[in-house]
Amino acid sequence: MRPNRLVVRAYLARGAWLWLAARALLSGVFLLAGTNPLQPSAAAVVEIILLSVGLSFLETHRRRERVFLANLGVRPLVLGALFAGPAMTGEVALRLGAAVFR
């Protein structure tokens, strides 16, 4: 069963905002470490995506929305995909943008 478009849009937006916040903070850490924040290693990109998804799940738990989502029929795997989508898209866009402007 596919989730409702309103639920999909809300959780994609939340995933995008939390990825943006996590990426901004980690970019500052990369700058302090003396590395290029726009071209981290492939392992670092995977870790950034996993961190973003984890923060999104923590935010959902903090807001106590797990029962609400279960009642709507949204499975945790689908929710994880909704949270990972903006993070993967953003990381690919940053990687391609950095390669074009290099």
The span from the CA of 92 to the CA of 81, in Å, is 16
Which residue type occupies 13? Answer: A
What global pTM score does this model have? 0.89
The pLDDT assigned to 12 comes to 95
pLDDT tens across 2-58, in order? 778 999 999 999 999 999 999 999 999 999 999 988 888 899 999 999 999 999 999
Q: Where are the domains of the chain?
A: 5-100
What are the Cα distances from residue 19, in Å, to 22, 26, 67, 81, 100? 5, 10, 24, 13, 22
The pLDDT assigned to 25 comes to 95
Is 102 a residue whose pLDDT tops 90? no
Phi/psi at 43 (5° precision)? -65, -40
pLDDT tens across 57-76, in order? 999 999 999 999 999 888 99
The span from the CA of 68 to the CA of 86, in Å, is 22
